[in-house]
Amino acid sequence: MLDKNGIAKRIAKEVKDGYYVNLGIGIPTLVANFVRDDISVEFQSENGVLGMGPFPFEGEEDADIINAGKQTITTLPGASFFDSVTSFGMIRGQHVDLTILGAMEVAENGDIANWKIPGKMVKGMGGAMDLVASAENIIVAMMHTNRAGESKLLKKCTLPLTGVGCVKKIVTNLAVLDVTPEGFKLLEKAPGVSVDEIVKATEGNLIVEGDIPEMDI
Amino acid sequence: MIRKTVANVEEALEGAKDGMTFMLGGFGLCGIPENAIAHLVKIGVKDLTCISNNAGVDDFGLGLLLHKRQIKKMISSYVGENDEFERQMLSGELEVELTPQGTLAEKCRAAQAGFPAFYTPAGYGTEVAEGKETREFNGKMYVLEEAFKADFSFVKAWKGDEAGNLIFKGTARNFNPAMCGAAGITVAEVEELVPAGDLDPNQIHVPGIFVQRIFQGKNYEKRIEQLTVHKSN
């Protein structure tokens, strides 16, 4: 079974040379730490920066340079700043190659819910609805089950949706799965996890064909 | 040159009244019009509708207006990090309209640029699209979103000149440019106000035509919401 860093490490393998990538808050943010350094990638943050670098050294932080999580950041050579309209033009216009974000629930048809728990958590969708409605290439980083042990990979989402039929790939602590017209297709299992455990942890339709390889991370 | 400078925040906010709709720039606490917010608290205008990506934190930014119960309705994309906001929302004291961030930005730009409405894929099939017109273009579904209408826009820039031209710094730019010229009166506060001619016309982010009043801001706190640093050796 993978921890959060393990999930991020596996997703980092999906980041290809020449990609512009938008990382959501949480596990997706960790992906930047594991991207190979022999490829060229630029990270976009929807509040208005392309070419995000690591956190600044103590004392060098600048209140005017933050990411979408409101954390102080730095920029790398080749970076640019822009306004919110331009930023979402990049996203809506499909100029961003890969979007990685977290989810509370994903359904077997690719629906995603990650912004609201009625009566409990109403913080807002931020840029998530624009991102999932527009991106061609969306990877969801999430735990396979919730704290009560219930599956988060469902036949149908129970929470208010963020977007419909948009998720293509999911990386969880247990598995890598593709979302296909027939349901979740199991591609890889996490180290030390059996196919049986993945079957038990998946409520939505799960397609298991042939031998399932273990993730190489 | 058409002069846009006003002497101070009092003059800049003249005409701001109860029940009005305001746009306020900023993302989190980054690039917010600190002086305008402080003055709105001071003059006590109430029953306001505020369009702003976020709602500040408990003791800063729009949180200051929330504390004084001056806001009737918030239109935002993300409102976490504010306990008072959550309390007022859950108790029904505060009306909240959550809007996808890119849609929020575009609703400002549409108002600025003279578009009554536009189609966006964001929110299709979700509760955000409920009651709204939808339409298919090239096999994909889109939601019709309307331009905002506001009385004042309050924005903050790094540098500005007497003609109202603005230059922003870093990610403090965010929603500020799209809000300029998107309301009846746009008020820009700047960290550094310079004479006309001092800014290179090639470097202007927002031309002065979109700004009605500009003033030299003061006492900027520029608070950091999430300080994240590496320890230096």
Average pLDDT over residues B84-103: 93
Q: End-to-end alpha-carbon separation of chain B, Å?
A: 52
Q: What percent of chain A has pLDDT over 70?
A: 100
CATH of the domain at B103: 3.40.1080.10
Contact B225 A57 (CB under 8 A): no
Residues of A in contact with B176 (CB under 8 A): 83
Give the chain B residue nearest A73 (alpha carbons): B228
- Give chain A's mean pLDDT: 96
- Mutation for A interface: B171, B180, B206, B228, most A CBs within 10 A: B171
**In-domain check, residue B230:** no
Give the ipTM of the model, two decimals please. Answer: 0.96
- Residue-number span of the structural domain to which B51 is assigned: 9-113+149-216
Q: Do residues B62 and B42 make contact, with C-beta atoms less than 8 angstroms apart? A: no
Residues of A in contact with B223 (CB under 8 A): 63
**In-domain check, residue B139:** no
Residue A167, SS3 per DSSP: coil
Residue with tokens 């009306």, as numbered in its chain: B95
Q: Which of B160, B231, B153, B144 is nearest to B192 (CA)?
A: B160
Rounded distance between C-alpha atoms, residue B221 and residue B168, angstroms: 17
Q: Which of B78, B21, B100 is nearest to B86 (CA)?
A: B78
List the domain boundaries for chain A.
4-46+94-207
Give the chain B residue nearest A67 (alpha carbons): B171
pLDDT classification of B80: cutoffs 50, 70, 90: confident
**In-domain check, residue B72:** yes
Give the chain B residue nearest A55 (alpha carbons): B229
Q: Is the pLDDT of residue B233 over 70?
A: no
Q: Is the pLDDT of residue A121 over 80?
A: no
List Cβ neighbours of A64 (8 Å cut-off, separation of 6 or more): B30, B31, B158, B169, B170, B171, B172, B222
Q: Which CATH superfamily is domain A4-46+94-207 in?
A: Glutaconate Coenzyme A-transferase (3.40.1080.10)
**In-domain check, residue B225:** no
Query: What count of Cα atoms within 13 Å lies in the side-chain half-sphere of residue B182?
Result: 33
Q: Do residues A49 and A67 make contact, with C-beta atoms less than 8 angstroms apart? A: yes
Could you give the number of structural domains in chain B?
1
Rounded distance between C-alpha atoms, residue A200 and residue B5, angstroms: 67
Tens of pLDDT, residue by residue over A16-51, are 999 999 999 889 999 999 999 999 999 999 999 999
Residues of A in contact with B226 (CB under 8 A): 66, 69-72
Rounded distance between C-alpha atoms, residue A131 and residue A96, angstroms: 9
DSSP A4: H
Residue with tokens 């990386």, as numbered in its chain: A171
> Quick one: pLDDT at residue A43?
97
Contact B226 A69 (CB under 8 A): yes
Contact A92 B121 (CB under 8 A): yes
- Both structure tokens of A111: 């629906």
**In-domain check, residue B32:** yes
DSSP H helical ranges for A34-148: 84-92, 128-134
> Quick one: pLDDT at residue A196?
97
Q: Is the pLDDT of residue B82 over 90?
A: no
Q: Is the pLDDT of residue B81 over 90?
A: no
**In-domain check, residue B177:** yes
Average pLDDT over residues A43-60: 96
Closest residue to A85, CB basis, from B109, B122, B123: B109
Tens of pLDDT, residue by residue over B198-218, are 999 999 999 999 999 999 999
DSSP H/E element including A49: strand A49-52
Tens of pLDDT, residue by residue over B160-184, are 999 999 999 999 999 999 999 999 9
**In-domain check, residue B35:** yes
Q: End-to-end alpha-carbon separation of chain A, Å?
A: 12
Residue B74's CB is within 10 A of a number of other CB atoms, namely 25
Residue A36's CB is within 10 A of a number of other CB atoms, namely 11
Residue B61's CB is within 10 A of a number of other CB atoms, namely 27
Low-confidence winner among A31-35, B87-91, B135-139, B229-233 (lowest mean pLDDT): B229-233
Indicate left, alpha or beta for B137 from its phi (over 0: left) and psi (-120 to 50: alpha).
beta
Query: What count of Cα atoms within 13 Å lies in the side-chain half-sphere of residue B13?
Result: 26
DSSP H/E element including A11: helix A4-12
Name the amino acid, one letter, at B124: Y
